[in-house]
Amino acid sequence: MGSYAQIMIDGYPIFSSKNYYHQWYFRKKDRCIRNRSKSQRNTLIWTAADANDQDEEETDYLYVCSGTTLRRRLELAGFNRETLEQEFKECIAQRIASCEEMVQQDYEWAKDYAQLIPILKASCLADWLKALKTAVEERINCWCWEEEKNKFSDPLLHLLFATDEFLEEFSIHETGFPCKTLESMAVAMLEIMPSDVECVLDITDLVGGGWTDSFEDLIEYHQDHTIFYEVFATAIADTRSLIALAPLSKTLARLLYANVISAMETYLSDTIKKQVLTRESIRRRFVQTNEAFKEKIVVQDIFRKLEGLNEEIVQVIDMMSFHNLDKTTGLYKSVLDTHFPNTSMVDLKKAVEARHDIVHRNGKTTQGKVVEMNMQDVERLVELVDATIQHIDKQIKDGLLDDDEGEGE
């Protein structure tokens, strides 16, 4: 079956792609997530919802910009009314020539093409735009044309959906409008619509089908916390549930205390690893500020180095000790521009030292003194670490959405 992406102007589809999508003239900043009921489906691209499901909610994953914005982006790329006129004339000339060639064939069906020649010769761009406007306003496309065609007498409207009339003609858009490029098709659509009309690249089906993770950061941005905070919170909840098993056990208290610090380290490690590996600007900052990447390489080795860079980055991060808070705070500041809460650092460092004694010295300090620990200490540490991670996570979440670098309108 596959999943489809659709480019639409005022809800009218002009292009689709299966199992992939091309961002075209849309920008990363154009992305949005919308919720709607199934009764509000665009039936030009979705099947109508069952009567019992009308109020059920669905989520759309879209790139959205105004007609004014798209028109400007197309203009800057060299597509406008003038280029549309040129493509139109070329397509009409090609169609006329094709019909004249077909008429020469000694077949009964070929004679039907003779009727198209005067229609094509007499038509102008304004006539075709009028037919296109009718199609858009009546919400008809090639899928429903057979059921609707008897309602209309305009021969150009019929040619818009006569997909088999001009088999040799190549065009990237999905209508019978006489132009070859998707850009000119968009210009034609914008010619017949208000300037503030909504232009959309709908990749909902691809997101649902697992064909793209392009909205992963935006989905995470609209949640209360990042995915890794949710993992951390689950670990903390598990720790709290274990407290009730033996609330007076000092041995269990020490183990749980150490586990809280481990959960913090896991969050810090996983978060910076994901940011570095998935965001080019962050990866650049990590490499440029890390001593592990100061080696000199010859030009011939550049591409080999780049091919294995992510693997090397993972190895470097995995070797880091995220319970070394001085280094970790510096790393987060220099690479992610993220700051730890100053008021928590003294207590956090003491907690990390206690955890080190528990894990590496069987619960004793370097002086041989037993580290006394109870469940109240565990609870206080949970609150301290959770507040710290939430403070960090908010900064991470707020920085998830990068604008496109070097973008021009």
pLDDT tens figures, 278-295: 888 899 999 998 888 887
Q: Calculate the CA dihedral of residues 361, 367, 370, 375 and round it to 10 degrees.
A: -80
pLDDT higher than threshold 80 for residue 111: no
pLDDT higher than threshold 50 for residue 174: yes
Q: Quote the CA–CA distance of 143 and 146 in Å, as a whole number.
A: 8
- Mean pLDDT rounded to a whole number for the chain: 89
Under DSSP, the state recorded for 404 is P
Q: C-alpha angle 405/407/409, rounded to 5°?
A: 160
Strand partners, 64: 200
pLDDT higher than threshold 60 for residue 178: yes
Q: Which residues contact 17 (CB under 8 A, 6 or more apart)?
A: 4, 5
Confidence category of residue 403, pLDDT binned at 50, 70, 90 = low
Q: Which residues contact 120 (CB under 8 A, 6 or more apart)?
A: 92, 95, 96, 99
- Residue 135, CA atoms < 13 Å, CB-side half-sphere: 30
Q: Which residues contact 28 (CB under 8 A, 6 or more apart)?
A: 401, 402, 403, 404
Q: Quote the CA–CA distance of 165 and 274 in Å, as a whole number.
A: 52
**E strand segments, 19-92:** 31-37, 57-66
Give residue 171's pLDDT.
Answer: 62
Q: Quote the CA–CA distance of 175 and 181 in Å, as a whole number.
A: 11
Confidence category of residue 160, pLDDT binned at 50, 70, 90 = confident
Residue type at 108? E
Q: What pTM was computed for the model? A: 0.71
Which tens digit of pLDDT belongs to each residue from 194-233?
999 999 999 999 998 888 988 988 888 888 899 999 999 9
pLDDT higher than threshold 50 for residue 405: no
Runs of H (alpha helix) within 244-344: 250-278, 280-289, 302-307, 309-318, 325-336
Compute the average pLDDT of residues 385-389: 97
| 3-state SS, residue 187 | helix
Confidence category of residue 409, pLDDT binned at 50, 70, 90 = low
Q: Quote the CA–CA distance of 361 and 10 in Å, as a whole number.
A: 68
